[in-house]
């Protein structure tokens, strides 16, 4: 199902925004080559990536334990590493990619197909 997310001007380049689309909460990112969407919760321990930091026009860094995910693919580029010792949880919270969805832009609005 197609969802109208927001005006593209609502998300300046280098920024992101958490948006509810039907039953799914997403984070939409504006990178140098366009808009991307990932699931809103970190796959490590479910912190909100809407409060995450965009690193080098490529990754989102989780605000809780600093896992980094490639925004374009959802792949893990660095797993949880903060505070020291959090890696002990890896036995039960192993690396897991984010779900991603393509975002399209039409007439100044952003859409996602879920």
Q: Where along the sequence are the contacts to ligand FES (CB under 6 A)?
A: 42, 44-45, 47, 62, 64-65, 67, 80
| Closer of 45 and 55 to ligand FES (Cβ) | 45
- 18 versus 47: smaller Cβ distance to ligand FES: 47
Residue 93: its H or E element: none
Cα dist. 102→2, 31, 85 in Å?
11, 13, 35
CA dihedral 49, 55, 98, 19 (to 10 degrees): 40
Closest approach of Cβ 27 to ligand FES, in Å? 13
Q: Which two tokens stand for residue 25?
A: 């909460």
Smallest separation, CB 72 to ligand FES (Å): 19
List strands edge to edge, sheet with 24-31. Answer: 2-7, 109-113, 100-106, 34-39, 24-31, 16-21
**Shortest distance in whole angstroms from residue 86 CB to ligand FES:** 7
Which one, 34 or 48, has the nearer CB to ligand FES?
A: 48
Least distance (Å) between residue 69 CB and ligand FES: 9
Q: Which is nearer to ligand FES, 30 or 65 (CB)?
A: 65
């Amino acid at each position: 199902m197609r969802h109208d997310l927001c005006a593209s001007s609502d998300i300046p380049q280098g920024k992101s925004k958490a948006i509810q689309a039907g039953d799914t909460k997403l984070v939409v990112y504006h990178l140098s080559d366009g808009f991307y969407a990932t699931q809103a919760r970190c796959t490590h321990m479910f912190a909100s990536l809407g409060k995450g930091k965009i690193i080098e026009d490529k990754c989102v860094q989780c605000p809780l334990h600093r896992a980094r995910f490639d925004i374009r693919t959802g792949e893990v580029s660095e797993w949880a590493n903060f505070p020291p010792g959090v890696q002990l949880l890896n036995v039960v919270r192993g690396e897991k990619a984010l779900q991603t969805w393509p975002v399209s832009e039409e007439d100044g609005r952003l859409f996602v197909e879920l």
